[in-house]
Structure 1
Amino acid sequence: MIILACFMVEVFVFGGSMIGGFLLAILSMPFVIANLNNLDAVLQVFNHLYVQLGIFAFIALALFAWVKWYEKRPISSLGFFKTNVLLEILKGWGVGMLVFSFAFGSSYLFGGLDFNRVDFSGENLLFVLSTIPFWFIQGGTEELLTRAWLLPIVNKRSNLAIAIGISSSLFGIMHLANNHVTALSILSIVLSGVFMALYMLKTDNIWGVAGLHGAWNFTQGNIFGVAVSGTSTGSSLFSFAIKPEAADWISGGAFETEGSLMASIALLLGIAYLGFQLKKEKELHAH
């Protein structure tokens, strides 16, 4: 059953992506026909950040359909509780920005990065701000799949530690095909899965961890201008470059900051803090 649940996560990703891609192809048909002589323009549209992140909405819809019509339970059972929604999102967003900024700042201070430029022009600022809801959709969808849906299923059939380990490991496996992937980058992604699982257990809702995940990606891609899990994300407020002479464990190499030891250390500190908080809560409830 656990293996089947892990397989279903991949089905949701593939099925939702196919549906989203099909609808996009239909809606963009007039544009494609008008630009048959300019395929670069067509590819640019399909590879745009908005499109790549927006596709995740269809993956979420595939999961919602499964939960509602096959599992016959309310979608709210995935953690969509209505109390303090905006506050939970903002808190999670702040945590995500803080933890990644710590990792990035450590990499910079240890000589892994060079500062290039800053761009606070109106056009660039507007683009960066406009990516926020798309990062929230993308990060939130990945949290729905691995933390809100898969983790409880595995937990029911084993225990919480195994559930966190399996859901986080699957999260790492799902990134194996990313550009410039390394053992250290996969370790960092698995640790981010553990960190986000603990954050969701601490807050007991999906909103906060969706904000955390979205902010983690937004901060690295469109604030500091480094690759998100090995993939470039377009314009950013700041621009940094990996120092060629820097060790990969400091800079993250071609995978960039998320593939550095600094990211793993930042996440381990976050895991330790949340683990301590959850242990304290458990002890209080026991008394």
Structure 2
Amino acid sequence: MGFFVNEHERRPRAPWRLLFQVFVYFAVQLAFGVLALAVLALASGGSSEPPGGGIGLGSSPLALVLGGLLSLVAALVSVWLAGRFLDRRPFSGFGLGLSREWWIDLGFGLLLGAVLMTSIFLVELAAGWVRITGTFATGGGTSSFPLAILAPLVLFLCVGFGEELVSRGYQLKNMAEGLDYPGIGPRGAILLAWVLSSSVFGLAHLANPGSSLVSTINIAFAGLLLGVGYVLTGRLAIPIGLHITWNFFQGNVFGFPVSGMDDIGASFIEISQGGPTFLTGGPFGPEAGLVDIVASVAGSLLIVLWVRLRSGKATLQTSIAEPPVRKHAVS
């Protein structure tokens, strides 16, 4: 049984926990995806073709909201089940121990994502690589811009929370626990898990429209950026906030494609993209260009600075690699 179960911890070993969570995640997505397609078919008068494209369910406001909720439900269900029955830890143990510091970090993450993507836009605008062609575009879903912009906002709120809960909160943590061997130690295990989980994060976007080896590597770098706040604080607040505004500002404020998806509802600004593809990312969006790498490095340094200012030091949180405390029965 030692191959499957850690007798000391009395739970399945890390690889089996990770496989279970991934299986449940995709199973829930499949089940709820079928339901969501049925809802869209009814909403579109029974048509078998969902409107729009790019995110699997279409790009109408209803499709964007359903797509976001689908991603969030799959993340919540899979992590809760794996945590409750395999990890033997409370849901809050996955970086969601809400506190005053947690909410302050969330605010910083939201601000950082907005600042980084605004910087990318301004650099490309100054270089002549993008040209503004319109403003307050509704995306064809509704004539009301305030209503139209709510759908992608809901989408990216759900995606930011759900993907960080899975990629950093569950997968990075379990990888770190599984890699914490005597010759590696908790710090080495966290660093390895940080790189490995970021690589998986990059590979998970291979199915996106227009993906390539370059875009996969760049998104892995973005995964490293998203993981910095978690490995330094043990909280998901910075990664969640950063993920939300990075995507929303990228696609719905400045009109860039988001990881290959170029039809994600309303946007404050419409643009025409030009410039060297290796720098801008071209039709895939900034995440396939050198601008992504530069922004990831700059963002990582700003997170380190933030953590140092808040706590006086910026070191790896070795608690990430620690198994949950076993409860002993009281006679």
TM-score w.r.t. length of structure 2: 0.74
Shift of 1:237: 0.6
Counterpart residue number, 1:281: 313
Matches within 5 A, 1:1-287: 4=16, 7-8=19-20, 10-25=22-37, 31=42, 35-36=45-46, 38-40=47-49, 42-43=50-51, 46-47=57-58, 48-60=63-75, 61-84=77-100, 86-119=103-136, 123-158=144-179, 159-232=189-262, 233-243=264-274, 246-275=275-304, 281=313
Q: 1:15–1:262: structure 2 CA closer, same or farther, 3 Å change rule?
A: same
Q: Which of these two proteins has the greater Rg computed from alpha carbons?
A: 2
CA RMSD of aligned residues (A): 2.8
Give the unaligned 5+ runs of structure 1: none
**In 1, Cα distance between equivalents of 2:288 and 2:280:** 8
- Aligned to 2:199, what secondary structure does the other structure show? helix
Shift of 1:277: 6.5
Shift of 1:59: 1.3
Give the unaligned 5+ runs of structure 2: 1-12, 180-188, 318-331
Per-residue Cα deviation, 1:39-91 (whole angstroms, up to 9, x for no partner): 45x54594122122221122122221221133332111111112135443332
Say whether the 8 Å CA contact 1:106–1:262 is kept in structure 2: no
**In 2, Cα distance between equivalents of 1:187 and 1:57:** 25
**In 2, Cα distance between equivalents of 1:165 and 1:214:** 21
Say whether the 8 Å CA contact 1:118–1:238 is kept in structure 2: yes
TM-score w.r.t. length of structure 1: 0.85
Per-residue Cα deviation, 1:152-195 (whole angstroms, up to 9, x for no partner): 22222331211111000000010111111133322221111111
Question: After TM superposition, what 4+ stretches of structure 1 lie above 6 angstroms from structure 2?
Answer: 276-280
Shift of 1:26: 5.7
Letter in 2 for 1:236: S
Say whether the 8 Å CA contact 1:111–1:250 is kept in structure 2: no
Q: Which moved more, 1:167-176 or 1:150-159?
A: 150-159
Aligned residues: 278
Shift of 1:127: 2.3
Say whether the 8 Å CA contact 2:229–2:235 is kept in structure 1: no
Instruction: Report percent identity of matched pairs.
Output: 21
